[in-house]
Amino acid sequence: MSFYVVVPARYASTRLPGKPLADLAGKPMVARVAERCQRSAAEQVLVATDDTRIADALEGESVRVVMTRDDHPSGTDRLQEVAEQLGLADDDIIVNVQGDEPLIPSAVIDQVAANLADNPDCQMATLCEPIEQGDDLFNPNVVKVVFDQTGRALYFSRAPIPWHRDAFADGGRDISGGQWWRHIGIYAYRVALLHRYVQWPPAELEKLESLEQLRAMANGIAIHVAPACEPVPGGVDTPEDLARLQAYLETQS
The model carries a pTM of 0.94
82 domain-assigned? yes
Tell me the pLDDT tens digit for each residue of 99-114: 889 999 999 999 999 9
**Residue 253 confidence (pLDDT):** 61
Q: Please give the residue range of the domain that contains residue 37.
A: 4-244
What CATH number is associated with residue 160? 3.90.550.10
Task: Report the number of distinct structural domains present in the chain.
Answer: 1
**Residue 3 confidence (pLDDT):** 98
251 domain-assigned? no
Q: Is residue 241 packed enough to be buried (19+ CB in 10 Å), middle (13-18) or exposed (0-12)?
A: middle
What is the number of alpha carbons within 13 Å of residue 38 lying toward its C-beta?
12
**Residue 184 confidence (pLDDT):** 96
68 CA to centre of own chain: 19
205 domain-assigned? yes
252 domain-assigned? no
pLDDT band for position 71 (50/70/90)? confident
